Structure 1
Amino acid sequence: MDTRDRPAVMASVKGIEALEAIEAIRQLKARYCLCVDGQRWDELRELFTPEAATDTGGQGRSRGRDSFVDKVSTLLTGAVTLHVAGMPFITLQSSTAAHGIWTMEDRLWFPDAAAPDGWRHWQGSGRYHEDYVRVQGRWLIRTMRLERVEPGPRHG
């Protein structure tokens, strides 16, 4: 990751204003994880711009927050999920635009009558690449792309 441009980009947003913006974006991502795991679909919808573009890999690409939330809610309603996002690298591009990269891990349990314990388990990891915009004082997700990191073959 090339960080040479970061000081120049940050020059337009300084001090407390920069810290407040970064913290607001961190809180936005925390709300995203809590809304998905709590299946609070209406709240999740409000974290995105109306025209948000998303690509979560397995669920494919979506244009518009309604399309994204419809896909996610259809897939996850009835499941038990745990999403963790951390180690953010947030670059403020201006007082109203930012980019973030997050390391993530998720665990999902889907009801499955054929499984010995009644659940089918899936675990994944990767990185979120996101663009944010500040609209009427609130940071929102404008684009979100999930880059899955899958382990290679195990030896031994």
Structure 2
Amino acid sequence: MESSAASRLWEIEEIRRLKARYFRCVDTQDWIGLAALFTTDATMFFPESQDAPVNARDGIAFISGALRGGVSIHHGHMEEIEMTSPTSARGIWAMVDRIFWADASAGTLGLGGLRGSGHYRDEYRKITDRWLIQSFRLSRLRASTQPAPTSVI
């Protein structure tokens, strides 16, 4: 394998590892670790709950509020990563997530459970030898929800 091909594959592997850290930080509710994965001007867009992209700080606040009191399991796979320059790339990731909440007071979504599938469309930027997420858009193809459990008094 020639050097440029090996280098390109290494960069793609670093982006895969970045996205793996993203999923782990969300599922472990490590909001400080999650914030460190984004450029300072990064944006997030969840079209099913937002009208336009928001800065990553506000996006992380939205995620942390939605997952409060819950347990999430995110899987990203079948990635398509394209290097657009030595310091930029884009990717599409198939995703499946499951989220469970113990009661209606948990999270800001007021649900008992959510199961979704769709795609992340990401832009990446390499800054001082480190890949970071510049932007993402999560498009769900399907989402099914469970109502929050009700208590009987």
The alignment's TM-score, normalised by the length of structure 1, stands at 0.80
Is residue 2:39 matched to residue 1:49?
A: yes
Q: CA RMSD in A?
A: 1.9
1:51 touches 1:63 (CA, 8 Å); kept in 2?
Answer: no
Q: Indicate the SS of the match to 2:85.
A: coil
Alpha-carbon separation, structure 1, partners of 2:38 and 2:103: 32
Unaligned 5+ segments in structure 1 are: 1-12, 152-156
Is residue 2:54 matched to residue 1:63?
A: yes
Q: How many residues align?
A: 135
* Equivalent residue for 1:24, pick from 14, 17, 25: 14
Shift of 1:54: 1.0
Matched AA of 1:125: S
Match of 1:5 in 2: none
Matched AA of 2:141: V
1:59 touches 1:71 (CA, 8 Å); kept in 2?
Answer: no
Percent identity (aligned): 37
* Equivalence map 1:112-151=2 (5 Å): 112=103, 120-150=112-142
Higher strand content, 1 or 2:
2
The alignment's TM-score, normalised by the length of structure 2, stands at 0.82
* Equivalent residue for 1:76, pick from 67, 77, 87: 67
Is residue 2:96 matched to residue 1:98?
A: no
Match of 1:36 in 2: 26
Unaligned 5+ segments in structure 2 are: 106-110, 144-153
